Chain A
């Protein structure tokens, strides 16, 4: 048992983390397809609006039906994450309450009003509203879903890099100091672009896979080919955008979460002129001995690429795990990185100041006493605010706790980037064959399109694994470790709900896949034929 869990039953934090990961991973199976298909169906309906060819209407209606099935299955799967915040992560929820309140409230309003209104017009309004109004509703459904994702990603980005807030020792909450700083933090903007473009890739892979399935079965050939061409173009453009935003993401991570970058790269000893690891052997079942190892075995690397990725300078300094623990190297802003020991001292100072502050506030009696203590309280507040960025370090007993599990970060990052590169090649080949030749002659390509779809989901989930495993042990970067953010709940109850969710979400997934499969097999309905 970890000695840090003195007030907790063994493993409650691990079960709570596992439950959150499980529900988030399942939720993320539904969301990217919603965002991706929203774009595809919008493009198809726009083609109908511009050409007035019934074929495009039939195509749009078909993809809207598949969108609707996925949308219905995904409804409310995210709400359970909020339940978990309130029950399993109550300390954390209270700590961040004021920051999360605004984005999540906006998300709820946007999601409910925008999506529910325009989804209804999109599905029920084909013969009831004008073509222009219908097209607008289709696009607004997609924009509503995308805006909804924006606010969730703003909240997530704040956890990775808390900005625009000030800690109130009376309310024990981080209070928003600047809404714009929170909503438009560069990390949030980049995370949004990367997440949405990667969702478009999922939508494109799905469209191409369904189209190739029809071609393989020698049916719906016109719709299939048109869909494959649109899916291929969307997929290729989205891949290139995701590549660019992914590069920006890595640069941002290097600035604000260097330990995550070191874990992603299995970079134990940093330095100047760092190479980017392409492949290496990192034992997936145990944390490597980073303190006594120069680099992982069988490493093949691209010279200077990591320095360029992290600093935009091929000779730039990139800290490794050991450099981050020791400190003493120059940061990008020119200041010197403090050692972990210093951070731990400052964290303990912040915790001590907060305790004293609250005790003094509780013991205040009468105006004279208030005045006498006012100066002392002011000094405590000043000291607390100065050390608050290191608050979480005060709970760290062993520097090893600050190193995320390297194998997951290392392999998940490579899965995401490797598959992303494969998708660029795949979409390019599909488009080349679709425009220059007869796709039906390339059976292997049709089969590989179907195989690409689950690979797309693996890449997408891997991205989240990198983002969330990489920031461990922090619930809020540098301010709150997971074992402090977790509630003092019984392990048994978290275990029980973990398996309940596993059952519920697995059932939902099976139901969704079977309904989608039935709808795909049934195929489109052609108005011109009717």
Chain B
């Protein structure tokens, strides 16, 4: 009985190790894919720079300063439907 239990434990540990190493292998390959890809970029560097600048302008400037959520800034929390009713039915 005890021998069987030891055997099962041994198999389970081996399986866990195998799965762990396999998972790590996949993760490592994914990290490598991205790391090597980014390292070897040529035109991609310019494109990434443009994307980052664009996202900063869109989210940090336009969204923050020019595009507030109109209802959230004008209606009390939980009273949004009353605010919209006032806007829509008052026109």
Contact = CB atoms under 8 A, between A and B. Distances in A.
A125 B44 contact: no
A291 interface: no
Nearest to A4: B91
A386 interface: no
B33 to A, nearest CB: 5
A95 B84 contact: yes
A124 B63 contact: no
Q: Which of A90, A483, A497, A515 has the most CB of B within 10 A?
A: A90
B32 A128 contact: yes
Interface in A158-188: 170-173
Contacts of B90: 7
A500 interface: yes
A515 B46 contact: yes
Contact of B66 (A90, A171, A497, A515): A497
Given A91-B88, A484-B91, A171 B81 contact: yes
A80 B89 CA distance: 28
A497 B85 CA distance: 27
Given A86-B69, A123-B44, A125-B33, A72 B62 contact: no
Interface in A69-86: 69, 72-73, 75-76, 79-80, 83-84, 86
Interface stretch (B2-10, B16-24, B49-57): B49-57
A33 interface: no
A223 interface: no
Contacts of B63: 83
Nearest to A362: B82
B88 A87 contact: no
A209 interface: no
A488 interface: yes
Contacts of B60: none
A508 B29 contact: no
Given A80-B58, A354-B89, A500-B66, A68 B47 contact: yes
Nearest to B36: A124
Interface of A (DSSP majority class): helix
A75 B91 contact: no
B70 A90 contact: yes
Contacts of A93: 71
A83 B62 contact: yes
B70 A7 contact: no
A120 interface: yes
A143 B51 CA distance: 22
A94 B89 contact: no
B39 to A, nearest CB: 10
Interface string B58-91: 1000110011111100000000111011011111
Contacts of B1: none
Contact of B33 (A91, A128, A395, A489): A128
A411 B43 CA distance: 40
A80 B67 CA distance: 9
Nearest to A489: B70
Given A120-B33, A123-B37, A86 B54 contact: no
A123 B34 CA distance: 10
Nearest to B68: A87
A155 to B, nearest CB: 19
A395 B87 CA distance: 13
A511 B53 CA distance: 13
Nearest to A508: B54
A91 B87 contact: yes
B81 A170 contact: yes
A176 B34 CA distance: 41
Contacts of A447: none
Contacts of A299: none
Contacts of A355: 89
Contact of A94 (B32, B54, B84): B84
Contacts of A120: 33-34, 37
B62 A69 contact: no
A86 B70 contact: yes
A120 B66 CA distance: 33
A86 B67 contact: yes
A315 interface: no
Nearest to A170: B81
Contact of B55 (A76, A86, A170, A395): A76
Given A7-B91, A497-B66, 14 more contacts: A68-B44, A79-B58, A90-B84, A94-B81, A120-B37, A123-B37, A124-B34, A124-B40, A128-B36, A172-B88, A493-B66, A497-B62, A497-B67, A515-B43
26 contacts: A4-B91, A6-B91, A7-B90, A68-B43, A68-B47, A72-B48, A80-B62, A83-B63, A86-B67, A86-B71, A87-B68, A88-B70, A91-B84, A94-B81, A123-B44, A124-B36, A124-B38, A128-B29, A128-B32, A128-B33, A172-B84, A484-B88, A484-B91, A489-B70, A511-B50, A515-B46
Interface of B: 29, 32-34, 36-38, 40, 43-44, 46-48, 50-51, 54-55, 57-58, 62-63, 66-71, 80-82, 84-85, 87-91
Interface of A: 4, 6-7, 65, 68-69, 72-73, 75-76, 79-80, 83-84, 86-88, 90-91, 93-95, 120-121, 123-125, 128-129, 170-173, 351, 354-355, 358, 395, 483-484, 487-489, 493, 496-497, 500, 504, 508, 511, 515, 519
6 nearest A-B pairs in the assembled complex, by CB-CB distance? A124-B37, A90-B70, A83-B67, A72-B47, A172-B81, A87-B67
